[in-house]
Amino acid sequence: MWADADRLRAFTNLVLGLSALWIVWNGLNYAVHLPQFALRAVALTAAPGHITAAQLRTVTAQVHGNFFTVDLQRTRQALERLPWVRRASVRRKFPWTLEIELEEHIALARWNQSDLVNTHGEVFHADTDEPLPAFSGEAHNALLVAQAYGEMNQLLAPLQRQVARVVLSPRMAWQIELDDGLQLALGREATSERLARFVRVYPSSQAAMPRVRRIDLRYRDGFAVANS
């Protein structure tokens, strides 16, 4: 090979090229680890509502690396494990800042006493003292219950009543409790039609049944009432 000028030239160019790449690589590796690029600040795009500064400090204290080497995905995942964080976005902001954008859960109701459900119908675990309606059901039906809650409140608007509790049984039977304590059994079918019929009839019937606690709407042409 040494007597072949073309092959020798090609080999020399290859060695020189690899050497140049090695030099560039090491130069870049040195540059990205310079102390000038150490992370010095964390910036939030908006002030959080439920997430505390202590919780954020706990996460950011575990961030390793500098502006170039920090693991953005790992940081995002750590933020999304905080109780009130629905989604997180983490970006680099040259030359030494991490910019964090947080989307917080907006609690719609309590879910099965121990959890919460947000306005997207997603169940999450967090603590709150907010006065919220109560939902009960199986976890995979959370979105269905959240949507039904909004629709029922719209139907009840003429009575100036709101839903305080929604129960969806494993057999998909609905029961609700209004903010005045009145319980309505809606059953499994035609629940919107039954509730709409109740809204039409109840004002004219209210005087005749002042102490009613429960109304069963699962009848074709009327409803049954109970005082307890």
Determine how β-strand 134-136 pairs with β-strand 41-44. Answer: unpaired
The fold adopted by the segment(s) 35-104 is Ubiquitin-like (UB roll) (3.10.20)
Summary count for the chain: helices (H), strands (E): 5, 12
Can you give the length of the chain in residues? 228
Q: Give the per-residue pLDDT at 1.
A: 52
Give strand pairing partners of 116.
110, 124
For residues 145 and 152, give the distance between their C-alpha atoms in angstroms, rounded to a whole number: 10
For residues 129 and 149, give the distance between their C-alpha atoms in angstroms, rounded to a whole number: 21
Q: Give the per-residue pLDDT at 104.
A: 96
Q: Give the per-residue pLDDT at 227.
A: 75
For residues 161 and 195, give the distance between their C-alpha atoms in angstroms, rounded to a whole number: 12
CA-CA-CA-CA dihedral for 140, 111, 113, 191, to nearest 10: -90
CATH homologous superfamily, domain 107-226: Cell division protein FtsQ/DivIB (3.40.50.11690)
Q: Give the per-residue pLDDT at 19.
A: 45
Question: Considering only CA atoms, which of 199, 172, 203 is closest in space to residue 184?
Answer: 199
> Mean pLDDT of successive 10-residue segments in the chain (228 residues)?
56 47 44 52 85 88 77 91 94 84 96 96 95 96 97 96 97 96 94 93 73 85 74
> What tokens does 221 get?
């042409």
> What tokens does 200 get?
């039409």
Domain residue spans in the chain? 35-104, 107-226
Q: Give the per-residue pLDDT at 8.
A: 52
Predicted TM-score of the model (pTM): 0.79
Q: Which residue is associated with the tokens 């606690």?
A: 213
Q: Give the per-residue pLDDT at 135.
A: 98
Residues sharing a CB contact under 8 Å with residue 176, sequence separation 6 or more, in sequence order: 152, 163, 165, 166, 167, 183, 184, 186
For residues 18 and 27, give the distance between their C-alpha atoms in angstroms, rounded to a whole number: 14
> Which helix (DSSP H) or strand (DSSP E) does residue 33 occupy?
none
